[in-house]
Amino acid sequence: MSHAEPAPLSIVEVQRAVAAELDRLAPVIDELGRRFADAGHELALVGGPVRDAMLGRAHHDLDFTTSARPSQTERLLAGWADAVWDVGREFGTIGCRRGEWQVEITTYRAEAYDPASRKPEVSYGDDLGGDLGRRDFTVNAMAVRLPGREIEDPYGGVVDLAHRVIRTPGTPEDSFSDDPLRMMRAARFAAQLGFEVDEAVVEAMTAMAERIDIISAERVRDELVKLVCAPWPRRGLTLLVRTGLAERVLPELPALALERDEHHRHKDVYEHTLTVLEQAIDLEHRLGGEPDFVSRFAALMHDVGKPRTRRFLDDGTVTFHHHDVVGAKITRKRMKALRFSNDQIDAVCTLVELHLRFHGYGSGEWTDSAVRRYVRDAGDQLERLHILTRADCTTRNRRKAERLRRTYDDLEERIERLAEQEELDSLRPDLDGNQIMTILGIGPGREVGEAYRHLLELRMDHGPLGEERATEELHAWWAARG
């Protein structure tokens, strides 16, 4: 994908885009609008769907706001929606599905945070204007009244969209006091939309960065995932670092901005990391083309062990011995603190720990045994490891970059050839646990696992042995144990 900035919009383009999108949404918005109006309630399409309509982006998840209370909304949806749910009732939200459309309808709100609380205090508002005024940014504080389709834009969101700027409806200080997570949302929207963040917003983020500490790890994690999976994550990440927010939610990232030695003998690790992230994104087509958080986050974290392992030698050179192993431990600790799932943690940490393995390949000197171990250690992360290893080459020396690319091509070809010959995807010994117990005449226990691992090592070293030779090797191993 291109990492270039998105093209600016004209007001006319915005108007055309929103008109076309509202026509597409007509089966939902016109029917719902009339249904609520006939019952004496206001209804408006609001937030992200309105913003994205103006950007020419189609939505099937629609957000509405209404003067109706949740119980009234629930009654109005009965008989119209295919399914209705009320898991958001505590926050005034009723959800439903109608065909391919997912709909959430929320009562006008006024909400604020207690300075020491992680959860919003929700109270119902009286009108659409007040509801829009409590939203995070002007580009999300626009609405389309239904069924008449009048656009409400009290804070200049259309102009900000055209100018590609993130601003808050009121003062950013008030907005971030109400919900400190909005500081991370500013960075996330910069990454998702490719917009600039207004300088007043940046100043408030910097001054209030410590307020993010009251937000739960899960909410911080979710914003971080959305940012990393956005089209322009560099924009959001650099903003987090610049404002000091990264120091509080992902301190390993700003720590990569090591002071360079006076002779500039090693790369700027921070800039290198952001480039690796972008190059990993360019290779996501190998995974199907959708944003892949695991490969992106592994790219972001792959060198986090460098600050702790940096050593200056007498000749002025710099080393980072074992930064892969140290980095995997640091990554695991950070991801646990952010409440990531064990599967995600294991996947990312495997990639961080293995990202240097290829550099022992030289010009192709690895034995087949070494190639098998590379595949075995990568497990189900092999394709992502291919991506990370290729993305990790950021040298400006074209000849060196081309040599590394050709060498990795050779490694992948060898893996493919061995996979065809040996079923590398299921690297197992030639005998399973039941066969081992039968041959040795033993029951379940530690010896079975040791025998299994011994046969697996033989499989790694020599390829498939066949059942007969594997049995001979098993007997020889058992005899040698006495």
| Residue 371 near residue 418, CB atoms below 8 Å | yes
Query: What is the mean predicted confidence (pLDDT) over 227-249?
Result: 98
Q: What is the pLDDT of residues 184-217, one digit of tens each?
A: 999 999 999 999 999 999 999 999 999 999 999 9
Neighbours of 216 (CB within 10 A): 12
| Kind and range of the H or E run holding 151 | strand 150-152
| Local structure of residue 85 (DSSP, 8 states) | E
Query: What is the mean predicted confidence (pLDDT) over 115-136?
Result: 79
pLDDT for 263: 43
Mean per-residue pLDDT of the chain: 90
Q: What are the DSSP calls for 355-397, one per residue?
A: TTGGGG-TTTT--HHHHHHHHHHHGGGHHHHHHHHHHT---S-
Statement: residue 2 has pLDDT above 70? no
- CA-CA distance, 336 to 358, in Å (whole number)? 28
- CA-CA distance, 410 to 390, in Å (whole number)? 13
346: left (phi over 0), alpha (psi -120 to 50) or beta: alpha
Q: Structurally, what CATH architecture does the domain formed by 164-250 represent?
A: Orthogonal Bundle (1.10)
pLDDT for 110: 74
Q: What is the pLDDT of residues 6-34, one digit of tens each?
A: 777 777 888 888 889 999 999 999 999 99
Q: Report residue 242's pLDDT band, with 50, 70 and 90 as the boundaries.
A: very high
Lowest mean pLDDT among 85-89, 119-123, 149-153, 370-374: 119-123
pLDDT higher for 75 or 418? Answer: 75
CATH, domain range 252-426: 1.10.3210
Q: Structurally, what CATH architecture does the domain formed by 1-163 represent?
A: 2-Layer Sandwich (3.30)
Hey, do 1-163 and 164-250 end up sharing a CATH topology, with the first three levels equal? no
Lowest mean pLDDT among 13-22, 38-47, 113-122: 113-122
Q: What is the pLDDT of residues 352-409, one digit of tens each?
A: 999 999 988 887 889 888 898 899 899 899 999 999 999 999 888 999 999 999 999 9
- CA-CA distance, 256 to 303, in Å (whole number)? 8
Dihedral sign computed on CA atoms, order 324, 329, 331, 332: positive
Residue extents of the structural domains in the chain: 1-163, 164-250, 252-426, 433-480
| Residue 130 near residue 20, CB atoms below 8 Å | no
Query: What is the mean predicted confidence (pLDDT) over 330-348?
Result: 98
Query: What is the mean predicted confidence (pLDDT) over 44-62?
Result: 91
Q: Taking Cα atoms as reference points, which of 444, 446, 441, 474 lies closest to residue 459?
A: 474
Using the CB atoms, write b or e for 386-403: b if 16+ within 10 Å. Answer: bbbbbbbbeeeeeeeeee
pLDDT for 264: 47
pLDDT for 435: 92
pLDDT for 121: 63
SS3 of residue 124 by DSSP: strand
- CA-CA distance, 325 to 323, in Å (whole number)? 6
- Does residue 147 have a cis peptide bond before it, meaning omega lies within 30 degrees of 0? yes
pTM (predicted TM-score): 0.84
SS3 of residue 420 by DSSP: helix
